[in-house]
Structure 1
Amino acid sequence: MSSFRPGRLLGILVGTVVILGLGVYGPATLLGPLPAVTAIRVTPAATSTTPTPPVLSPNGASAIAVLAATTSDSSGTTSTGADGTTVSEPIATAGLDQALPMASIAKVVTALVVLDAKPIAAGESGPIVTLTAADFQSYLDYNKAGARSVAVFADEQWTQLELLQALLLGSSNNHADSVARWAFGSVDAYVVAANAWLDDNGMTGSVVIDATGLHDASVGTATDLAHLAGLAATDPVVSAMLASPASALANRRGVENTTSYLAEEGITGISRSYTDAAGVCFLFTARVSDGASSFTFSGAYIGEPTYDALTADLTALMASARAGVGPLPVLAAGDAYATFRSAWGDEASAVVGVSRTRYAWQAATPEAAKVTLEDFATARTGSNVGQVRLTVAGEKLSAALKLDEGIADPGPGWRLLHPIVMITALLDQ
């Protein structure tokens, strides 16, 4: 005959709980996932390189913007920044912020707006244009007024390319009106289209009243016009025209190239002009090279008092460019962008694995880096644990972040002694 024994029942219950607890506790701690490391973002120390900023003009208004940068990184590969056609925001401005008369820079707007409406394939001359009595009268009027002009006669035939060459290279005012009338029906219709084009291309601080720039109300900001220079320099028709300027046009008509200026300094002129209201205005690109890498920028100077002042200011700019442009370690190998700490005390950093060096102006300050990190608990030294991305001088760069020290499993002892941490990690997963 058996009798009820409470002590025995309690022992069985306690034993059962212990056995069940061990059955859950053991696997949960020994086999369960470890808690992810804690990440803290950090900022690498600034480079010790002394920047050399662009030296711009104290006169009128001026601005420069990155056009393209061809560089070699530490891995030996070559890349072209800003894809060769995208113009960044200005890297330097000086002088007045408001829009100023732009003189013949307005003719660059005319050329680009006409090419936008009636594009020409690279290497071709475009359609034949028969000039009218109105075109001949424009020539007579501008010639009588002493404004730049290239002779035309009624019923002459010019190609579209020849019209644009006379417009840009010769700064011909009558050709500005002629090509505007041909493309849009009238100069007034062209003006409407040109201002819409300026807005569409982000040059909202500028406006044109005519096709020539002789009107004082055709105005632009230095920032807008530096951007305009980049658009002109990367247009295949305009860039080819500037690279191989024509000396003779329709019927062997001569044209003087008015754009070239200080070519020995590495400058390619796009437009150079003077009016009483605008002063001396110059649109250009410039290039600095060390033989293996090159840096190209576009620029605009408006409101210069004299050509002597323009020469002095451009010479100072190019001297600052030669001093300031060079290999810039934007993302240097070993720079840390995050630190990690595990629950069991291991520490490591997320560092740039391979340098990303760009041939750029040393005064260009990168934007704040954007860092993305992976969640992990353990990883070996050198493992990819994230990525850093930033933009410098209009160019987007990125580099993989690698672990500089391994974070290993803490082992069964630590796991068994930290059940709450381990079970919490299991529940979180």
Structure 2
Amino acid sequence: MTYSATARVTGPVPPPPPGRQRARGRWLLTTGLLTVLLAGTSLVAVEPLRRPLPEPTVTRTLPASTVIPGTAPTIPWPQRGQAALTVDGLGSLGTSGGSDPVPIASVAKVMTAYVILTEHPLDRGEPGPRLTVSAAQAAAYPRELARGESLVPVVAGAVFTERQALQAVLLPSANNMARILAAWDAGSVEAFVDKMNDTAAALGMADTHYTDPAGLDPGTVSTAVDQVILARKAMELPAFAEIVAQRTATLPVAGTVMNYNSLVGKDGIVGIKTGSTDEAGGCLVFAAVVTVGGRKLTIVGAVLGQPGANTPVQLDRVFRATRPLVRTAAKAIGEHAVVRAGDQVATVRGPLGAGTTINATEDLTVLGWPGMPVRLDLDLPAVPARLPAGAGHGRLTAAAGDGAAVTTALRTGEGLEPPSTWDRIRHHR
């Protein structure tokens, strides 16, 4: 019997052998476990990457203020009377003698000149408007002279420019011209005195009261501190600063007159005004210009109430008390580096322990004296996640006392990089 090669068997298929069944089951179980494990691992790895990274944090390591190192200057204050000493644009070097208002004699004429120049401003060298001496003002001259007042000779009809009148008031300290100017400006001496007191109040001179434009009346009182306030304002007026620095001037009728302030031109002194009476003693408000680090600074001070039997003695003593003050102040002012290039001002801490520093790029040098407080202001923008090494980032500003601020740029130390994906996963585990 013969069979065809294409014949099919249509009966039931026999099952595989038992060994093959067990192998297939193990394979299915292993595959399922691996799938579950891989899914879990993927979830574990992805979860920390979904969380946002915290922003870098900055910690300031430089204090907000410091002081210029060294021993503070010892000021040779006068043994009698009041005194105050300041450096314009830097601050006060102190005061002595209390703060009770005292007579100030012809120092009052600083306010007289200040009011005139604010009401009738003059440029340097400008003569200004003219004023004519009246018959009554000229007739008063002999009586004023008999009282021993400080005067310039005048005659009826004499014409003074505003500048010449101010020169008469500020150099030879002419009481009569102070009254003539007051009446010319305000219509009467009394109305002008009101202006003087209003101006004092506006300037914050709380312990000052004027009763006359010349200072002859002992009821005109002030303090050394208040007179420094006024002197600083007056020296901002170009014509005032120009006049008080003159040693002589030529006036109508009087001819050449001398400046009573014999310190002008010594120790850098450029003014301002003397005063002396029996009640006030010797008084001087002064200004001196010094150059430190290529910058011009003005020392302003006042010495009141120096004793003496007469004007020459009183002025000699106030001059002798003033010169050590000016010299000490000039010597005390210097350049001081309060931050050095490379000094660390802040640290930066990034996520997962990354970090860097913020450092000054240049020295910060201020003008001042030992013991003077210095502000250190840090301007630091928000720190990004990535910041290269040596990158500019922020500024640091220093200012000593009331002085001008100096600034340096800041830069990073090491580079700051955000953590890698692997670091984030590993840190999470």
Whole-Å separation in 2 of the counterparts to 1:214 and 1:65: 27
Match for residue 380 of structure 1? 388
Q: Deviations over 1:101-136 (max 9, x none)?
A: 111111010000111112223321111111112321
CA contact (8 A) 2:303 2:322 kept: no
Q: 1:54 to 1:356 in 2, by over 3 A?
A: farther
Residue type of the partner of 2:80?
Answer: N
Q: Deviations over 1:260-316 (max 9, x none)?
A: 326332222311121111111001112334694543211111112244543432232
Match for residue 20 of structure 2? none
Whole-Å separation in 1 of the counterparts to 2:198 and 2:187: 16
1:411 aligns with 2:419: yes
Whole-Å separation in 1 of the counterparts to 2:33 and 2:101: 93
1:273 aligns with 2:282: no
Aligned partner (choices 187, 195, 202) of residue 204 of structure 2: 202
Whole-Å separation in 2 of the counterparts to 1:16 and 1:291: 72
Per-residue deviation at 1:188? 1.1
CA contact (8 A) 1:191 1:211 kept: yes
Q: 1:185 to 1:149 in 2, by over 3 A?
A: same
Q: 1:356 to 1:173 in 2, by over 3 A?
A: same
Aligned partner (choices 228, 236, 244) of residue 238 of structure 2: 236
Whole-Å separation in 2 of the counterparts to 1:47 and 1:414: 46
Per-residue deviation at 1:168? 0.5
Residue type of the partner of 1:392?
Answer: A
Per-residue deviation at 1:20? 7.4
1:371 aligns with 2:378: yes
Q: Deviations over 1:14-72 (max 9, x none)?
A: 9889867866753x46xx555222323432876543332443323211112222xxxxx
Match for residue 316 of structure 1? 324
Match for residue 303 of structure 1? 305
Match for residue 87 of structure 2? 66
Residue type of the partner of 1:117?
Answer: E
How do residues 76-87 of structure 1 correspond to structure 2 at under 5 angstroms? 82=89
Residue type of the partner of 2:423?
Answer: W
User: Alignment partner of 1:148: what SS?
Assistant: coil
CA contact (8 A) 2:293 2:334 kept: no
- In structure 2, runs of 5+ residues without a counterpart are 1-30, 308-313
- State TM-score, norm by structure 2: 0.80
1:49 aligns with 2:70: yes
Per-residue deviation at 1:391? 3.2
Of the structure 1 ranges 111-120 and 293-302, higher mean CA displacement relative to structure 2 is found in: 293-302
Match for residue 55 of structure 2? 35
Whole-Å separation in 2 of the counterparts to 1:403 and 1:258: 57
1:177 aligns with 2:147: no
Per-residue deviation at 1:394? 1.9
CA contact (8 A) 1:269 1:285 kept: yes
How do residues 5-404 of structure 1 correspond to structure 2 at under 5 angstroms? 25-26=48-49, 28=50, 35-43=55-63, 48-67=69-88, 82=89, 89-251=91-253, 253-261=255-263, 263-289=265-291, 292-305=294-307, 306-358=314-366, 360-363=367-370, 365-376=372-383, 377-404=385-412
Whole-Å separation in 1 of the counterparts to 2:330 and 2:359: 32
CA contact (8 A) 2:361 2:409 kept: yes
Per-residue deviation at 1:187? 1.1
Whole-Å separation in 2 of the counterparts to 1:351 and 1:322: 34
Per-residue deviation at 1:208? 1.1
User: Alignment partner of 2:176: what SS?
Assistant: helix
User: Alignment partner of 1:274: what SS?
Assistant: strand
Match for residue 71 of structure 1? none
Residue type of the partner of 1:108?
Answer: V
CA contact (8 A) 2:58 2:346 kept: no
CA contact (8 A) 2:66 2:373 kept: no
Whole-Å separation in 2 of the counterparts to 1:51 and 1:335: 25
CA contact (8 A) 2:104 2:222 kept: yes
User: Alignment partner of 1:285: what SS?
Assistant: strand
Residue type of the partner of 2:269?
Answer: I
Q: 1:248 to 1:310 in 2, by over 3 A?
A: same
Whole-Å separation in 2 of the counterparts to 1:11 and 1:216: 107
Residue type of the partner of 2:185?
Answer: A
